[in-house]
Structure 1
Amino acid sequence: MKSRVLRVFIVLLAVGVLVAASLPALGLFLVVADPLQRSDAVFVLEGHTPARELEAAALYHGRWAPLIVLARARDPLPEITRRLAGEPRPHERALRVLRHRGVPAAAIVVLDRGSENTAQELGVDFAFARERGFRRVILVTSPSHTRRVSVIWSWRYADRIPAMVRPTSFETFAAERWWRSRHGLETAAHELFGMANFLLGSPLTTFDRE
Protein backbone atom coordinates (compact mmCIF):
# COMPACT_ATOMS: atom_id res chain seq x y z
CA MET A 1 0.00 0.00 0.00
CA LYS A 2 2.78 2.42 0.94
CA SER A 3 4.67 1.67 -2.25
CA ARG A 4 1.54 2.40 -4.32
CA VAL A 5 1.03 5.72 -2.54
CA LEU A 6 4.67 6.56 -3.13
CA ARG A 7 4.38 5.79 -6.85
CA VAL A 8 1.27 7.94 -7.15
CA PHE A 9 3.03 10.76 -5.31
CA ILE A 10 6.05 10.52 -7.63
CA VAL A 11 3.83 10.57 -10.72
CA LEU A 12 1.88 13.58 -9.45
CA LEU A 13 5.10 15.35 -8.56
CA ALA A 14 6.52 14.69 -12.02
CA VAL A 15 3.34 15.97 -13.66
CA GLY A 16 3.43 19.06 -11.46
CA VAL A 17 7.04 19.78 -12.35
CA LEU A 18 6.29 19.29 -16.06
CA VAL A 19 3.30 21.63 -15.94
CA ALA A 20 5.22 24.26 -13.97
CA ALA A 21 8.09 24.11 -16.46
CA SER A 22 5.77 24.41 -19.45
CA LEU A 23 3.79 27.43 -18.23
CA PRO A 24 6.42 30.05 -19.18
CA ALA A 25 6.94 28.34 -22.54
CA LEU A 26 3.22 28.52 -23.25
CA GLY A 27 3.14 32.24 -22.55
CA LEU A 28 6.18 32.85 -24.74
CA PHE A 29 4.55 30.76 -27.49
CA LEU A 30 1.65 33.19 -27.63
CA VAL A 31 3.88 36.14 -28.54
CA VAL A 32 5.19 36.52 -32.11
CA ALA A 33 7.48 39.37 -33.17
CA ASP A 34 8.61 38.97 -36.77
CA PRO A 35 11.63 40.94 -38.02
CA LEU A 36 10.36 44.05 -39.78
CA GLN A 37 10.75 44.75 -43.49
CA ARG A 38 9.59 47.71 -45.55
CA SER A 39 5.99 47.03 -46.47
CA ASP A 40 3.09 48.43 -48.44
CA ALA A 41 0.82 48.99 -45.44
CA VAL A 42 0.33 48.52 -41.73
CA PHE A 43 -2.95 46.79 -40.85
CA VAL A 44 -4.18 47.49 -37.32
CA LEU A 45 -6.24 44.69 -35.81
CA GLU A 46 -9.31 46.18 -34.17
CA GLY A 47 -9.39 46.50 -30.40
CA HIS A 48 -7.31 47.64 -27.43
CA THR A 49 -7.27 51.26 -28.61
CA PRO A 50 -5.01 53.22 -28.30
CA ALA A 51 -2.17 50.69 -27.85
CA ARG A 52 -2.29 49.15 -31.32
CA GLU A 53 -2.78 52.47 -33.08
CA LEU A 54 0.19 54.00 -31.28
CA GLU A 55 2.41 51.20 -32.59
CA ALA A 56 1.07 51.68 -36.11
CA ALA A 57 1.79 55.41 -35.93
CA ALA A 58 5.35 54.69 -34.77
CA LEU A 59 5.86 52.31 -37.69
CA TYR A 60 4.51 54.91 -40.10
CA HIS A 61 6.84 57.60 -38.78
CA GLY A 62 9.68 55.08 -38.91
CA ARG A 63 8.97 54.74 -42.64
CA TRP A 64 8.21 51.02 -42.44
CA ALA A 65 5.06 51.57 -44.51
CA PRO A 66 3.36 54.56 -46.17
CA LEU A 67 -0.21 53.55 -45.31
CA ILE A 68 -2.17 52.52 -42.21
CA VAL A 69 -5.34 50.46 -42.62
CA LEU A 70 -8.01 50.36 -39.90
CA ALA A 71 -10.67 47.70 -39.51
CA ARG A 72 -14.37 48.31 -39.05
CA ALA A 73 -15.28 45.48 -36.69
CA ARG A 74 -18.77 44.83 -35.41
CA ASP A 75 -19.60 47.25 -32.62
CA PRO A 76 -20.43 45.35 -29.41
CA LEU A 77 -22.72 48.20 -28.32
CA PRO A 78 -26.10 49.05 -29.87
CA GLU A 79 -26.16 52.25 -31.91
CA ILE A 80 -28.67 53.86 -29.54
CA THR A 81 -26.27 53.30 -26.63
CA ARG A 82 -23.47 55.19 -28.36
CA ARG A 83 -25.76 58.01 -29.44
CA LEU A 84 -27.13 58.54 -25.94
CA ALA A 85 -23.63 58.54 -24.46
CA GLY A 86 -22.07 60.61 -27.23
CA GLU A 87 -19.43 57.92 -27.64
CA PRO A 88 -17.50 57.51 -30.91
CA ARG A 89 -17.46 54.17 -32.68
CA PRO A 90 -14.35 51.97 -32.27
CA HIS A 91 -12.89 52.86 -35.67
CA GLU A 92 -13.51 56.56 -35.01
CA ARG A 93 -11.51 56.33 -31.77
CA ALA A 94 -8.72 54.53 -33.62
CA LEU A 95 -8.68 57.19 -36.32
CA ARG A 96 -8.51 59.94 -33.71
CA VAL A 97 -5.42 58.35 -32.12
CA LEU A 98 -3.60 58.19 -35.45
CA ARG A 99 -4.41 61.78 -36.32
CA HIS A 100 -3.32 62.89 -32.85
CA ARG A 101 0.02 61.15 -33.45
CA GLY A 102 0.57 63.12 -36.64
CA VAL A 103 -0.43 60.56 -39.24
CA PRO A 104 -1.95 62.49 -42.18
CA ALA A 105 -5.48 61.64 -43.26
CA ALA A 106 -4.20 60.71 -46.73
CA ALA A 107 -2.12 57.92 -45.16
CA ILE A 108 -5.09 56.29 -43.38
CA VAL A 109 -7.72 53.97 -44.83
CA VAL A 110 -10.78 52.80 -42.90
CA LEU A 111 -12.20 49.67 -44.44
CA ASP A 112 -15.91 49.66 -45.27
CA ARG A 113 -16.53 45.95 -44.83
CA GLY A 114 -17.11 44.89 -41.23
CA SER A 115 -16.08 41.73 -39.40
CA GLU A 116 -16.95 39.86 -36.22
CA ASN A 117 -13.73 38.09 -35.29
CA THR A 118 -10.02 37.85 -36.03
CA ALA A 119 -10.36 35.33 -38.85
CA GLN A 120 -12.97 37.43 -40.64
CA GLU A 121 -11.00 40.60 -40.08
CA LEU A 122 -7.84 39.12 -41.58
CA GLY A 123 -9.90 37.95 -44.54
CA VAL A 124 -11.08 41.53 -45.11
CA ASP A 125 -7.51 42.78 -44.74
CA PHE A 126 -6.23 40.24 -47.25
CA ALA A 127 -8.94 41.12 -49.78
CA PHE A 128 -8.02 44.80 -49.55
CA ALA A 129 -4.29 44.05 -49.82
CA ARG A 130 -4.82 41.87 -52.88
CA GLU A 131 -7.08 44.47 -54.51
CA ARG A 132 -4.40 47.13 -54.02
CA GLY A 133 -1.64 44.85 -55.30
CA PHE A 134 0.30 44.87 -52.05
CA ARG A 135 3.35 42.62 -51.94
CA ARG A 136 4.03 42.67 -48.19
CA VAL A 137 2.15 43.94 -45.13
CA ILE A 138 2.60 44.42 -41.38
CA LEU A 139 -0.10 43.25 -38.96
CA VAL A 140 -0.18 45.10 -35.63
CA THR A 141 -1.98 43.68 -32.62
CA SER A 142 -1.62 43.02 -28.90
CA PRO A 143 1.29 40.80 -27.76
CA SER A 144 -0.91 37.92 -26.59
CA HIS A 145 -2.94 38.07 -29.83
CA THR A 146 0.03 37.79 -32.18
CA ARG A 147 0.23 33.99 -32.32
CA ARG A 148 -3.41 33.63 -33.32
CA VAL A 149 -2.99 36.29 -36.00
CA SER A 150 0.17 34.58 -37.26
CA VAL A 151 -1.50 31.15 -37.37
CA ILE A 152 -4.51 32.39 -39.32
CA TRP A 153 -2.51 34.45 -41.81
CA SER A 154 0.05 31.68 -42.35
CA TRP A 155 -2.71 29.11 -42.81
CA ARG A 156 -4.73 31.10 -45.35
CA TYR A 157 -2.81 33.95 -46.97
CA ALA A 158 0.96 33.92 -46.44
CA ASP A 159 1.70 32.08 -49.68
CA ARG A 160 0.14 34.98 -51.64
CA ILE A 161 0.97 38.02 -49.51
CA PRO A 162 3.66 37.68 -46.82
CA ALA A 163 2.95 39.44 -43.53
CA MET A 164 5.02 40.38 -40.51
CA VAL A 165 3.17 40.20 -37.21
CA ARG A 166 4.08 43.03 -34.87
CA PRO A 167 3.13 43.20 -31.16
CA THR A 168 2.45 46.69 -29.92
CA SER A 169 5.05 47.96 -27.49
CA PHE A 170 2.39 50.10 -25.80
CA GLU A 171 0.67 47.13 -24.16
CA THR A 172 2.18 44.52 -21.86
CA PHE A 173 1.63 40.79 -21.47
CA ALA A 174 3.57 38.94 -18.78
CA ALA A 175 4.41 35.97 -20.99
CA GLU A 176 6.74 34.33 -18.47
CA ARG A 177 4.30 34.57 -15.55
CA TRP A 178 0.86 34.88 -17.12
CA TRP A 179 -0.71 32.30 -14.76
CA ARG A 180 -0.04 34.42 -11.66
CA SER A 181 -2.93 36.81 -12.26
CA ARG A 182 -6.56 36.47 -13.22
CA HIS A 183 -6.04 38.86 -16.12
CA GLY A 184 -3.15 36.78 -17.44
CA LEU A 185 -5.13 33.56 -17.11
CA GLU A 186 -8.14 35.05 -18.89
CA THR A 187 -5.97 36.46 -21.67
CA ALA A 188 -4.08 33.23 -22.30
CA ALA A 189 -7.24 31.12 -22.14
CA HIS A 190 -9.00 33.43 -24.60
CA GLU A 191 -6.17 33.17 -27.12
CA LEU A 192 -5.76 29.41 -26.79
CA PHE A 193 -9.49 28.89 -27.18
CA GLY A 194 -9.56 31.24 -30.17
CA MET A 195 -6.80 29.30 -31.92
CA ALA A 196 -8.47 25.98 -31.15
CA ASN A 197 -11.80 27.24 -32.49
CA PHE A 198 -10.14 28.40 -35.72
CA LEU A 199 -8.23 25.14 -36.23
CA LEU A 200 -11.44 23.17 -35.69
CA GLY A 201 -13.20 25.15 -38.41
CA SER A 202 -14.77 27.83 -36.20
CA PRO A 203 -17.76 25.80 -34.95
CA LEU A 204 -18.61 28.52 -32.42
CA THR A 205 -19.69 31.94 -33.67
CA THR A 206 -18.46 35.13 -32.04
CA PHE A 207 -21.94 36.49 -31.34
CA ASP A 208 -25.23 34.78 -30.56
CA ARG A 209 -27.32 34.64 -33.74
CA GLU A 210 -30.64 34.82 -31.93
Structure 2
Amino acid sequence: MNLRRVRRAVPLLLLGLFAALLVLGVRAVGPFLVVADRLEPSDAIIVLEGGTPAREVEAAVLYRRELAPVVVLALARDPFPVARQLAGEPILQERAARALEYAGVPRHAIVRLERQAENTAQELQVDFEHARARGFRRVILVTSPQHTRRVRVIWNARYQARIPALVHPTLYEPFVPGRWWRSRRSLEEGLHELVAIAHFFIGSPLPTFDRGD
Protein backbone atom coordinates (compact mmCIF):
# COMPACT_ATOMS: atom_id res chain seq x y z
CA MET A 1 0.00 0.00 0.00
CA ASN A 2 2.79 2.39 0.93
CA LEU A 3 4.64 1.45 -2.26
CA ARG A 4 1.57 2.34 -4.35
CA ARG A 5 1.33 5.71 -2.65
CA VAL A 6 5.00 6.36 -3.33
CA ARG A 7 4.58 5.46 -7.00
CA ARG A 8 1.59 7.77 -7.29
CA ALA A 9 3.46 10.57 -5.55
CA VAL A 10 6.55 10.39 -7.77
CA PRO A 11 4.91 11.98 -10.86
CA LEU A 12 3.46 14.73 -8.68
CA LEU A 13 6.85 15.38 -7.10
CA LEU A 14 8.51 15.49 -10.51
CA LEU A 15 5.83 17.84 -11.79
CA GLY A 16 6.31 20.08 -8.77
CA LEU A 17 10.07 20.07 -9.27
CA PHE A 18 9.66 20.95 -12.94
CA ALA A 19 7.29 23.79 -12.04
CA ALA A 20 9.75 25.11 -9.46
CA LEU A 21 12.61 25.02 -11.96
CA LEU A 22 10.41 26.73 -14.53
CA VAL A 23 9.57 29.53 -12.11
CA LEU A 24 13.24 29.97 -11.21
CA GLY A 25 14.13 30.01 -14.90
CA VAL A 26 11.49 32.62 -15.68
CA ARG A 27 12.69 34.78 -12.80
CA ALA A 28 16.27 34.55 -14.06
CA VAL A 29 15.44 35.85 -17.53
CA GLY A 30 14.91 39.47 -16.45
CA PRO A 31 18.25 39.89 -14.64
CA PHE A 32 19.96 38.05 -17.50
CA LEU A 33 18.67 40.53 -20.07
CA VAL A 34 19.88 43.65 -18.27
CA VAL A 35 23.55 44.63 -18.51
CA ALA A 36 24.93 47.72 -16.76
CA ASP A 37 28.68 48.10 -17.10
CA ARG A 38 30.69 50.34 -14.82
CA LEU A 39 31.07 53.58 -16.73
CA GLU A 40 34.41 55.24 -17.46
CA PRO A 41 35.38 58.27 -19.53
CA SER A 42 35.06 57.34 -23.19
CA ASP A 43 35.45 58.84 -26.64
CA ALA A 44 31.76 58.80 -27.54
CA ILE A 45 28.29 58.01 -26.25
CA ILE A 46 26.44 56.03 -28.91
CA VAL A 47 22.65 55.95 -28.71
CA LEU A 48 21.05 52.83 -30.17
CA GLU A 49 18.04 53.72 -32.28
CA GLY A 50 14.59 53.31 -30.73
CA GLY A 51 13.02 54.18 -27.43
CA THR A 52 13.06 57.93 -28.14
CA PRO A 53 13.25 59.98 -25.96
CA ALA A 54 14.24 57.65 -23.10
CA ARG A 55 17.62 56.65 -24.54
CA GLU A 56 18.46 60.19 -25.62
CA VAL A 57 17.68 61.63 -22.19
CA GLU A 58 20.00 59.07 -20.59
CA ALA A 59 22.72 59.90 -23.11
CA ALA A 60 22.32 63.58 -22.27
CA VAL A 61 22.79 62.80 -18.57
CA LEU A 62 26.02 60.95 -19.35
CA TYR A 63 27.17 63.81 -21.58
CA ARG A 64 26.58 66.34 -18.80
CA ARG A 65 28.64 64.09 -16.52
CA GLU A 66 31.45 64.62 -19.04
CA LEU A 67 31.82 60.91 -19.75
CA ALA A 68 32.33 61.64 -23.46
CA PRO A 69 32.64 64.73 -25.68
CA VAL A 70 30.15 63.64 -28.37
CA VAL A 71 26.85 61.77 -28.70
CA VAL A 72 26.42 59.62 -31.82
CA LEU A 73 23.03 58.91 -33.41
CA ALA A 74 22.24 56.06 -35.79
CA LEU A 75 20.30 56.37 -39.02
CA ALA A 76 17.76 53.57 -38.81
CA ARG A 77 15.50 52.50 -41.62
CA ASP A 78 12.06 54.01 -41.10
CA PRO A 79 9.21 51.49 -41.48
CA PHE A 80 6.79 54.34 -42.34
CA PRO A 81 8.78 56.86 -44.43
CA VAL A 82 5.94 57.94 -46.74
CA ALA A 83 3.37 58.32 -43.96
CA ARG A 84 5.86 60.25 -41.84
CA GLN A 85 6.63 62.62 -44.72
CA LEU A 86 2.94 63.17 -45.50
CA ALA A 87 2.26 63.86 -41.83
CA GLY A 88 5.05 66.43 -41.72
CA GLU A 89 6.95 64.52 -39.04
CA PRO A 90 10.75 64.58 -38.85
CA ILE A 91 12.74 61.42 -39.53
CA LEU A 92 13.63 59.26 -36.53
CA GLN A 93 17.21 60.53 -36.36
CA GLU A 94 16.00 64.15 -36.34
CA ARG A 95 13.58 63.38 -33.51
CA ALA A 96 16.44 61.87 -31.53
CA ALA A 97 18.65 64.90 -32.18
CA ARG A 98 15.92 67.27 -31.02
CA ALA A 99 15.49 65.25 -27.83
CA LEU A 100 19.22 65.46 -27.16
CA GLU A 101 19.30 69.22 -27.69
CA TYR A 102 16.29 69.77 -25.47
CA ALA A 103 17.96 67.64 -22.77
CA GLY A 104 21.09 69.78 -22.84
CA VAL A 105 23.44 68.38 -25.48
CA PRO A 106 24.72 71.18 -27.75
CA ARG A 107 24.25 70.74 -31.48
CA HIS A 108 27.98 70.69 -32.17
CA ALA A 109 28.35 67.63 -29.90
CA ILE A 110 25.75 65.56 -31.79
CA VAL A 111 27.07 63.31 -34.55
CA ARG A 112 24.56 61.94 -37.05
CA LEU A 113 25.62 58.81 -38.87
CA GLU A 114 24.72 58.71 -42.56
CA ARG A 115 24.77 54.98 -43.26
CA GLN A 116 21.36 53.37 -42.78
CA ALA A 117 20.93 50.27 -40.63
CA GLU A 118 17.98 47.88 -40.52
CA ASN A 119 18.59 46.02 -37.26
CA THR A 120 20.74 45.97 -34.14
CA ALA A 121 23.55 43.91 -35.66
CA GLN A 122 23.83 46.25 -38.65
CA GLU A 123 23.61 49.29 -36.42
CA LEU A 124 26.45 48.08 -34.21
CA GLN A 125 28.54 47.39 -37.29
CA VAL A 126 28.01 50.98 -38.46
CA ASP A 127 28.83 52.23 -34.95
CA PHE A 128 32.03 50.19 -34.86
CA GLU A 129 33.17 51.37 -38.28
CA HIS A 130 32.55 54.98 -37.27
CA ALA A 131 34.46 54.48 -34.02
CA ARG A 132 37.37 52.81 -35.82
CA ALA A 133 37.54 55.54 -38.46
CA ARG A 134 37.67 58.21 -35.74
CA GLY A 135 40.31 56.36 -33.73
CA PHE A 136 38.07 55.86 -30.70
CA ARG A 137 39.53 53.71 -27.95
CA ARG A 138 36.35 53.16 -25.92
CA VAL A 139 32.66 53.94 -26.39
CA ILE A 140 29.49 53.86 -24.30
CA LEU A 141 26.43 52.19 -25.84
CA VAL A 142 23.11 53.47 -24.48
CA THR A 143 19.94 51.49 -25.05
CA SER A 144 16.82 50.12 -23.33
CA PRO A 145 17.36 47.86 -20.29
CA GLN A 146 15.96 44.71 -21.93
CA HIS A 147 18.03 45.39 -25.07
CA THR A 148 21.39 45.61 -23.29
CA ARG A 149 22.15 41.87 -23.26
CA ARG A 150 21.71 41.56 -27.01
CA VAL A 151 23.93 44.58 -27.57
CA ARG A 152 26.56 43.12 -25.25
CA VAL A 153 26.44 39.70 -26.94
CA ILE A 154 26.85 41.13 -30.45
CA TRP A 155 29.57 43.62 -29.53
CA ASN A 156 31.52 41.03 -27.55
CA ALA A 157 31.37 38.57 -30.43
CA ARG A 158 32.51 41.02 -33.12
CA TYR A 159 34.14 44.18 -31.82
CA GLN A 160 35.05 44.17 -28.12
CA ALA A 161 38.62 42.96 -28.73
CA ARG A 162 39.28 45.93 -31.01
CA ILE A 163 37.26 48.73 -29.44
CA PRO A 164 35.93 48.10 -25.91
CA ALA A 165 32.36 49.21 -25.28
CA LEU A 166 30.52 49.87 -22.04
CA VAL A 167 26.83 48.96 -22.29
CA HIS A 168 24.48 51.18 -20.31
CA PRO A 169 20.67 50.96 -19.86
CA THR A 170 18.54 54.07 -19.78
CA LEU A 171 16.89 54.71 -16.44
CA TYR A 172 13.96 56.42 -18.15
CA GLU A 173 12.40 53.33 -19.71
CA PRO A 174 10.49 51.07 -17.30
CA PHE A 175 11.61 47.45 -17.23
CA VAL A 176 11.73 45.68 -13.86
CA PRO A 177 13.86 42.52 -14.22
CA GLY A 178 12.28 40.77 -11.26
CA ARG A 179 8.75 41.28 -12.60
CA TRP A 180 9.31 41.16 -16.34
CA TRP A 181 6.65 38.49 -16.94
CA ARG A 182 3.90 40.29 -14.99
CA SER A 183 2.82 42.67 -17.73
CA ARG A 184 2.09 41.93 -21.35
CA ARG A 185 4.40 44.66 -22.58
CA SER A 186 7.41 43.52 -20.56
CA LEU A 187 6.71 39.90 -21.41
CA GLU A 188 6.60 40.66 -25.13
CA GLU A 189 9.80 42.71 -24.93
CA GLY A 190 11.62 40.05 -22.94
CA LEU A 191 10.61 37.21 -25.25
CA HIS A 192 11.52 39.31 -28.27
CA GLU A 193 15.03 39.81 -26.91
CA LEU A 194 15.50 36.11 -26.18
CA VAL A 195 14.44 35.23 -29.73
CA ALA A 196 16.69 37.95 -31.17
CA ILE A 197 19.71 36.67 -29.23
CA ALA A 198 19.03 33.15 -30.48
CA HIS A 199 18.63 34.53 -34.00
CA PHE A 200 22.06 36.16 -33.78
CA PHE A 201 23.68 32.82 -33.00
CA ILE A 202 21.78 30.58 -35.41
CA GLY A 203 20.92 33.07 -38.15
CA SER A 204 17.76 33.41 -40.23
CA PRO A 205 17.02 33.37 -43.97
CA LEU A 206 14.47 36.17 -43.51
CA PRO A 207 15.46 39.84 -43.91
CA THR A 208 14.45 42.44 -41.34
CA PHE A 209 12.23 44.19 -43.90
CA ASP A 210 10.33 42.74 -46.85
CA ARG A 211 12.43 43.34 -49.98
CA GLY A 212 9.36 43.34 -52.20
CA ASP A 213 10.88 40.80 -54.64
What TM bracket, shorter-length normalisation?
over 0.9
| 1:170-189 CA-partner distances (Å, limit 9, x unpaired) | 11111101111111210111
SS at match of 1:109: strand
Q: How many residues align?
A: 209
Q: In the TM superposition, what whole-angstrom CA distance separates every residue of 1:147-199 from its partner, at most 9, and x where no partner exists?
A: 00000000000000000000001111111011111112101110000000001
Equivalent residue for 1:144? 146
Matches of 1:27 and 1:102, distance apart in 2: 32
Q: Over aligned residues, Cα RMSD in angstroms?
A: 1.2
Q: Within 1, Cα distance between the matches of 2:209 and 2:7?
A: 49
Tell me whether 1:169 sits opposite 2:175 in the alignment: no
Q: After superposition, what is the alpha-carbon deviation per residue over 1:93-123, rounded to whole angstroms, capped at 9, x for unaligned? A: 0000011122111101110000000000000
Q: 1:88 corresponds to which letter in structure 2?
A: P
Match of 1:6 among 4, 9, 13: 9
**1:132 pairs with one of 110, 129, 134:** 134
Deviation at 1:3, TM superposition (A): 4.9
Worse overlay, 101-110 or 113-122: 101-110
Return the letter of the residue paired with 1:54: V
The structure-2 alpha-carbon separation of the partners of 1:204 and 1:12, relative to structure 1 and needing over 3 Å to count, comes to farther
Q: Which residue of 2 aligns with 1:21?
A: 24
Query: 1:1-210 counterparts in 2 under 5 A?
Result: 3-79=6-82, 81-210=83-212
The one-letter code matched in structure 1 to 2:196 is G
CA–CA separation in structure 2 for the residues paired with 1:45 and 1:170: 14
Cα distance in 2 for partners of 1:78, 1:86 equals 11
Aligned CA distance change for structure 1 residues 4 and 78 (closer, same or farther; 3 Å):
farther
Query: 1-side partners of 2:206 and 2:188: how far apart?
Result: 18
Normalising by the residue count of structure 2, what TM-score does the alignment of the two structures yield?
A: 0.94
Q: Compute the displacement of 1:5 (Å).
A: 4.0
Tell me the distance in 1 between the aligned counterparts of 2:61 and 2:123.
22
Residue 177 of structure 2 aligns to a residue whose secondary structure is coil
Shift of 1:202: 4.1
Larger Rg: 2
- Partners of 1:78 and 1:98 in 2: CA distance: 22
CA distance in 1, matches of 2:81, 2:109: 30
Distance 1:76 1:3 in 2: 59
Contact 1:144 1:187 in 2 (8 A): yes
In 2, are the aligned partners of 1:197 and 1:203 still within 8 Å (CA)?
A: no
TM-score under structure 1 length normalisation: 0.96
